[in-house]
Amino acid sequence: MNKDRAKQEVRERVWALLEQEQVVPPGVRGRIPAFTGAEAAAELLATLSIWREAAVVKAVPDKAQLPVRARALAEGKLVYMAVPKLAEAQPFYLLDPAELTVPVTDAASSKVAATVARRVDVEQMRPVDLIVCGSVAVNRQGVRLGKGAGYSDIEVALLHEAGLISPDTTIVTTVHSLQVVAGDLPETDHDFRVDFIVTPDEVIACGPPRRPRGLYWDSLPQEMIDAIPALATRRQRD
3-state DSSP assignment of residue 174: strand
Q: What amino acid is encoded at 133 in this protein?
A: C
Query: Does the structure show a pLDDT above 70 at 177?
Result: yes
Query: Does the structure show a pLDDT above 80 at 170?
Result: yes
**Mean pLDDT over each residue of the chain, to the nearest integer:** 94
Query: Is the whole-model pTM more than 0.85?
Result: yes
Over the stretch 89-125, which tens digit does the pLDDT of each residue have? 999 999 999 999 999 999 999 999 999 999 999 999 9
pLDDT category at 1 given cuts 50, 70, 90 is low
Over the stretch 225-238, which tens digit does the pLDDT of each residue have? 999 999 988 887 76
**How high is the pLDDT of residue 211?**
86
Sort 177 into a burial class: Cβ within 10 Å, 0-12 / 13-18 / 19+: middle
Question: Whole-angstrom Cα distance, residue 142 to residue 200?
Answer: 17
Q: What is the mean pLDDT of residues 133-137?
A: 98
**How high is the pLDDT of residue 235?**
82
Over the stretch 64-83, which tens digit does the pLDDT of each residue have? 999 999 999 999 999 999 99
Domains of the chain: 3-237 (3.40.50.10420)
CB 26 within 8 A of CB 19: yes
**How high is the pLDDT of residue 103?**
95
pLDDT category at 208 given cuts 50, 70, 90 is confident
pLDDT category at 63 given cuts 50, 70, 90 is very high
**How high is the pLDDT of residue 214?**
83
**How high is the pLDDT of residue 146?**
96
**How high is the pLDDT of residue 212?**
84
Own/partner contacts of 111-117, CB < 8 Å, gap of 24 or more, are 113/61, 113/81, 114/83, 114/84, 117/81, 117/93
**How high is the pLDDT of residue 207?**
85
pLDDT above 70 covers what percent of the chain? 99
Bridge partners of 59, per DSSP, are 81, 132
Over the stretch 16-56, which tens digit does the pLDDT of each residue have? 999 999 999 999 999 999 999 999 999 999 999 999 999 99
